[in-house]
Amino acid sequence: MQRQPLVIANWKMNGDRALVVTMADALRDSAAQHAGVSVVVCPPAVLMPAWQQVAFYDNVQLGAQDANENSSGAHTGEHSLALVQEAGASMVLIGHSERRQFYGDNAKRIAAKVSHVLESSPMTAVLCVGESAQEREQQRTFDVIAQQLNEALQNIDSAERLVIAYEPVWAIGTGLTASPEQAQEVHAFIRNWLNEKFGPSGANLQILYGGSVKADNAEQLFAQADIDGGLIGGASLVPEQFVAICDAAQTRSK
């Protein structure tokens, strides 16, 4: 079974209503160019309703950048699954390196979030994993990735509604990018891990690359056997760049 390419825009704490309109228009106008690609936009939570107002076409979904592992309660500043789903989200990013590094998303919280999404909602969990520069230099990449996957998915028995995003921390916002061969090597490792964990369904699970993906390197990255698309940061804030990346993913669907 051929996996459908998937491209996710992570705006992080960027963007505004003007970008919502220009990005929605750009994706609408170019929809035929990447009709075989699933596209997801994850704006800041306060912009999700604005996106719902203008992006009313089928091939672009709305995603959330994070969601709390609790259903409700005294968690000031957090958003529950019910809230982000009500805002229109069909996917949730979990365990992004910035959440791990700066906002207390340790292994226990990440595992709880993955379980909560898959058990308490119809949404898809996009689990982010990746190694630091030091860990890569120490040749610990595979050990780190395996540990992160084990910790997050230890209580998960099905690959349904699950996506993995490999984001080498050393390539996020630095301008550095793993070569297509380096990225494929890690993606192949993740694929083998998923096959061992989930059996045949692991072969159909989408694995994305995230780490300074741009229009000029996307096609080479997406041409790799186990890279099914991208989790896009800075380039997702520039409509022309993001559309070009979606177009590059279209070549994988042929």
**Structure-token pair, residue 16:** 């505004």
Q: Is 34 a catalytic residue?
A: no
Helix H, strand E, coil C: the string for the chain is CCCCCEEEEECCCCCCHHHHHHHHHHHHHCHHHHCCCEEEEECCHHHHHHHHHHCCCCCEEEEECCCCCCCCCCCCCCCCHHHHHHCCEEEEEECCHHHHHHCCCCHHHHHHHHHHHHHHCCCEEEEEECCCHHHHHCCCHHHHHHHHHHHHHCCCCCCCCEEEEECCHHHCCCCCCCCHHHHHHHHHHHHHHHHHHHHHHHHHCCEEECCCCCHHHHHHHHCCCCCCEEEECHHHHCHHHHHHHHHHHHHHHC
Q: Is 79 a catalytic residue?
A: no
Catalytic residue (one of 69, 98, 131, 167): 167
CA–CA distance, 118 with 113 (Å, rounded to integer): 9
Catalytic residue (one of 34, 79, 96, 116): 96
| Sign of the alpha-carbon dihedral angle for 150, 156, 157, 162 | negative
Enzyme catalytic residues: 96, 167
